[in-house]
Structure 1
Amino acid sequence: MSNLKNLAGQTAVYGLSSILGRSINFLLIIVYTAYLSKEEVGSYTSIYALIGFLNIVFTYGMETAFFRFATGKNLDPNRVYNSTQSLLLTSSLILGSFLYLGAPLLADWMDYPGQAYLFRWAALLLTFDAILAIPFAKLRLENKAFTFASAKILNILMNVGFNLILIVAFPYLIKEGVIPDGFLGYKSEWGVEYILLSNLFANGLIVPWVWWKAGMFRFQLDSEIIKPMWSYSIPLLFMGLAGVTNELISRLFFEYLLPENYFAGLNAREAAGVFGANFKLAIFMNLVIQAFKYAAEPFFFKKSSDKNSPLLYANVMHAFILFCTILMVAISVNLHWIGPLFLRKPGYEEGLFIVPTLLMGYLFLGIYFNLSIWFKITDKTNYSFWITLIGAIISIFVIWIFVPIWGYFGGALSTLSCYLIMSIICFVYGQRYYPIPYQTGKALLYLGVAFMISYFGFYLDFGSFLMNFLTKNSLILLYLGFIWLLEKNQLKAYFRKKSV
């Protein structure tokens, strides 16, 4: 139990920074939907989907490899850090240069003629992200959660600040005649451009500070370290590519698969903006998973040699499912006011019905992360590639078939289906090679009941806001009561131990 409390404490710190920081960042969707056109929001959705995909290429699994080798008994963590950071710095500069030079071709391919500069900025942004990955990982490994958290929050605050200045303040000041149009080269017709520039400025400014806090590295490409790390990380690269395909492909290709005039009054890129904005509402689940991942990954590796680690991993999974299903119900039943609060212009609420499905999809992503510990600590990372490749194929198949038929729901279904199948496959093989006593029956019951309550609460409507709010939120209490019925013996035993 002390191990669970330790993990919960670390997750709380990472979660505070992740939830606070990303919640601040998430508020930008209010700005984007209020000040930018649906077409600009659609551009933001597809370009950032591409950035998310390429981010995996730029880091190619080295973050997880760093944790694995820096915690090894026979290697100096500083040597591992120097070699890993030196390798990523070199490779990111090379990859960034290729992308920068190929920006015109990419702009034409994605239907952004004459806007190659967008993809040049994306190349710089990806380079900054890559050279920050290992310093951030080192802070996590050394349990410097508060330093990690402060750096993340500072980065996000700068990003938000630049967005507000460029998208809100400048247009207002120009309209009021305080500053002239074209002030400092400002272009009023730009939208997604200022989103990218804000992100680029914020990431570039944070690099020196993070490097200093993590400890400056010595450039060193040690083949004794890099060669085995490379062998370990390459399957993780393909896993990451397949995984990010599952994560982002629906947003990347939504506008290209949607038939013209599918939605009345919206072109395909505008519909992609609606889809991407509603996808953002599932961020609440993603925040929890990200915070958990920050704390759990180094924790799992450190505990891997403990003979009781399988039971520990099972308890972590159970607690994770309980918490996340409660969160899913709470968000879903309150979408009647959360949606309009964040999606400021009319028309975006048409996609709200996909949010419970997306929340469940992200929950299975978290389950998959828990399950994946078996191939990470047994060095069977090649399985990760095949599992995520299957997930990617399913994701592509579902979006290709169902977006033209079901529109928004087809995109959401691709997220849920791929993570569900990946979790099933990972569980089956994991129990063969590294058995963990998961409470599978209970887990499936909680997932099924929570999903049904989520959609029931979403569609429940009495016409009155107060009546809806009270009735819908009573379903959260109903679900908590259901959990208590199944868990009361374990909870009573836990509290008896604490009182002794």
Structure 2
Amino acid sequence: MYKKLAIQTIIYSIGLILPKFINYIFVRFFTFSLKREEFSIYTDMYAISFLIIGLLSFGLENTYFRFLYKKNYNKNIVFSTAMIIQLSIVFSFFIIFINFIKKFISITGYSNHPEYIIMFFLIIFFDTICILPMAWIRINEKPFLYTFINMIVMFIQSFFVVYMFFCYNNYHNLNLENKYYLLNIFNIISSFTDKIGYIFFSNVLSSFINFILIIPIIIQELQFSNFKKSVAKKMINYSFSIMLGTIAFSINENLDKILIKRWGSDEINGSYSACYKIASFMSMYTRMFKLGIEPFFFKKSKEYNAKCYYEDIIYLFILFGLIFYVLTCGNMSWGINILINKKYHTAMHIIPIIMMANLFLGIYTNLSIFYKIIDKPFIGTYISLIGVIITFLFNMIFILLPNNNFIIPAWGTFISYGSMLFVMFFWSKKNFGKIFYKIENILIHFLITITIVYIMNRNSIIELNFVIQLLYLIFIIFFEKKRLLTLIK
């Protein structure tokens, strides 16, 4: 059982990690190719789109997983009902956007570049439709197909970004014959947008390709006759709370960048956003875990010893997350020079803060299975609102203080996710009993990890940091020898 889970998680991880790895290469490419204010616009547009996708996705992915293993619903009815709800929401958004397009452009502050908003509308439209079919691939245990689609999408986006930036930088160095054949597409695209728009246009193409690749799944699985009104009502009631929680997460994750751009400056936001992306290494780890684990959690929810599975897996998630945290932060002093341009380094001290915040969020996400399997997603909504309030508070402090110190929103993210985890842990303990029989071990790991990272950040000798990391790994092997041997077996 664990072997199959591990293999599937590894395959899913390839489909996630490789595109993410390519994305980090492009972060370096963009920080060298774009000015900080341009990078700020690039980040701002994605921050706004995540908020909208959080609304339009309506929590239906989690709802789909839950209803497949609840009351023996027919899987075709569950998919068709969820997909019809999703399509109804997306096409309603399409109609609203078309009728109020000028308002959207004005509110976001991009009147000088309306094409940005139009392109992101298309990205949001295609990406939202793809959510449930991609979930269907995961639930039907087709990790190779999932990875294949992600790789194709990544290749298309990467190719067009490189192509258009190459054309932009070398346009005047090419002879006339090559201009006619090589730059025809570039000339068309450059006629309505600029260098930042090339990135967005590449994303439109990749999102469209993703949509094309999942159409066979929709055609095969979606049957309007399988739509059940009674099931739809229950799914909407269940997913509404998850949707609110998703929006709360999007606010926690993106509000700082949106406000720093508008109340600080594009230069500050550019540096903050670039370093924030480096810190999101941790969210890549948590996402990788979630892809393989979440369907497994729901599948095991009916078994009498399900809690034992949850405890083992969440404990390992925390352990490997802390190891990942130490190794990443311990090598950041020289690694950041490889990842982003030096002009963005002014915000590098937010990286350990945001990384630990993302680990808190990952643990919270794993613990959230407890309220999902008893059909009480509103618990997650209430906890997420606590996080949103804290995030708003710290961002208001950032706006009101005259020096606009961007470390304040970073600590806001840390305390927000930490508070959510704290409340989630005690709620789970109250309703499900003792979650971790060795909670003191977890606390020891956290204390040692934070101490080590603090020491390494205060120290500039790379060789000494390497020795500290080696000693830390030896300690982990010795301290968790029995659990690690069991995992390997």
When normalised by structure 2's length, the TM-score is 0.92
Task: Name the counterpart of 1:253.
Answer: 259
Does 2:361 match 1:365? yes
Task: Name the counterpart of 2:376.
Answer: 380
Of 428, 436, 453, the residue aligned with 2:426 is 428
**C-alpha deviation, 1:489, in angstroms:** 4.1
Task: Name the counterpart of 1:301.
Answer: 298
d(CA) in 1 for partners of 2:26, 2:159 = 10
**C-alpha deviation, 1:436, in angstroms:** 4.7
Of 191, 203, 221, the residue aligned with 1:199 is 203
How do 1:59-138 residues align onto structure 2 when only pairs under 5 Å count? 59-138=57-136
Query: In structure 2, do the counterparts of structure 1 residues 382 and 494 end up closer, same or farther at CA, with 3 Å as the change threshold?
Result: closer
How do 1:170-319 residues align onto structure 2 when only pairs under 5 Å count? 170-177=168-175, 178-179=178-179, 183-187=187-191, 190-213=194-217, 215-220=220-225, 221-258=227-264, 268-319=265-316
Query: In structure 2, do the counterparts of structure 1 residues 476 and 288 end up closer, same or farther at CA, with 3 Å as the change threshold?
Result: same
Does 2:461 match 1:480? no
Per-residue CA deviations over 1:187-228 (Å, capped at 9, x if unaligned) read: 497132112111111111221212325644223542122111
Does 2:312 match 1:323? no
* Partner SS state of residue 304, structure 2: coil
Conserved? CA contact 1:171–1:188, under 8 Å: no
When normalised by structure 1's length, the TM-score is 0.90
d(CA) in 1 for partners of 2:20, 2:378 = 32
AA in 2 matched with 1:66: Y
d(CA) in 2 for partners of 1:17, 1:493 = 27
After alignment, is 133-142 or 200-209 more displaced?
200-209
AA in 2 matched with 1:195: I
After alignment, is 59-68 or 155-164 more displaced?
155-164
d(CA) in 2 for partners of 1:146, 1:435 = 38
Conserved? CA contact 1:107–1:114, under 8 Å: no
Query: In structure 2, do the counterparts of structure 1 residues 170 and 65 end up closer, same or farther at CA, with 3 Å as the change threshold?
Result: same
Per-residue CA deviations over 1:67-98 (Å, capped at 9, x if unaligned) read: 11122343110111112112211210111332
Task: Name the counterpart of 1:20.
Answer: 18
Aligned length, in residue pairs: 478
d(CA) in 1 for partners of 2:314, 2:99 = 45
* Partner SS state of residue 254, structure 1: helix
Task: Name the counterpart of 2:445.
Answer: 446
Per-residue CA deviations over 1:244-286 (Å, capped at 9, x if unaligned) read: 111111112112232xxxxxxxxx0121111111111023211
AA in 2 matched with 1:313: Y
d(CA) in 2 for partners of 1:124, 1:115 = 15
Query: In structure 2, do the counterparts of structure 1 residues 253 and 142 end up closer, same or farther at CA, with 3 Å as the change threshold?
Result: same
d(CA) in 1 for partners of 2:479, 2:39 = 44
AA in 2 matched with 1:219: F
Conserved? CA contact 1:332–1:455, under 8 Å: no
d(CA) in 2 for partners of 1:116, 1:494 = 53
Task: Name the counterpart of 2:408.
Answer: 410
Query: In structure 2, do the counterparts of structure 1 residues 245 and 96 end up closer, same or farther at CA, with 3 Å as the change threshold?
Result: same
**C-alpha deviation, 1:341, in angstroms:** 1.0
Conserved? CA contact 1:317–1:367, under 8 Å: yes
* Unpaired stretches in structure 2, ≥5 consecutive residues: none
Query: In structure 2, do the counterparts of structure 1 residues 35 and 142 end up closer, same or farther at CA, with 3 Å as the change threshold?
Result: same
Conserved? CA contact 2:115–2:193, under 8 Å: no
**C-alpha deviation, 1:483, in angstroms:** 1.9
d(CA) in 2 for partners of 1:100, 1:49 = 21
d(CA) in 2 for partners of 1:394, 1:236 = 19
Conserved? CA contact 1:15–1:287, under 8 Å: no
Query: In structure 2, do the counterparts of structure 1 residues 213 and 227 end up closer, same or farther at CA, with 3 Å as the change threshold?
Result: closer
Conserved? CA contact 2:354–2:413, under 8 Å: yes
AA in 2 matched with 1:300: F
After alignment, is 372-381 or 102-111 more displaced?
102-111
Query: In structure 2, do the counterparts of structure 1 residues 426 and 15 end up closer, same or farther at CA, with 3 Å as the change threshold?
Result: same
Of 333, 336, 352, the residue aligned with 2:330 is 333
RMSD: 2.1
AA in 1 matched with 2:94: G
AA in 2 matched with 1:376: K
Query: In structure 2, do the counterparts of structure 1 residues 494 and 316 end up closer, same or farther at CA, with 3 Å as the change threshold?
Result: closer
Task: Name the counterpart of 1:262.
Answer: none
Conserved? CA contact 1:100–1:119, under 8 Å: no
* Unpaired stretches in structure 1, ≥5 consecutive residues: 259-267, 463-467
Task: Name the counterpart of 1:152.
Answer: 150
Conserved? CA contact 2:280–2:354, under 8 Å: no
* Partner SS state of residue 380, structure 1: coil
d(CA) in 2 for partners of 1:218, 1:99 = 27
Q: Structure 1 vs Structure 2: percent identity of aligned residues?
A: 26
d(CA) in 1 for partners of 2:398, 2:323 = 29
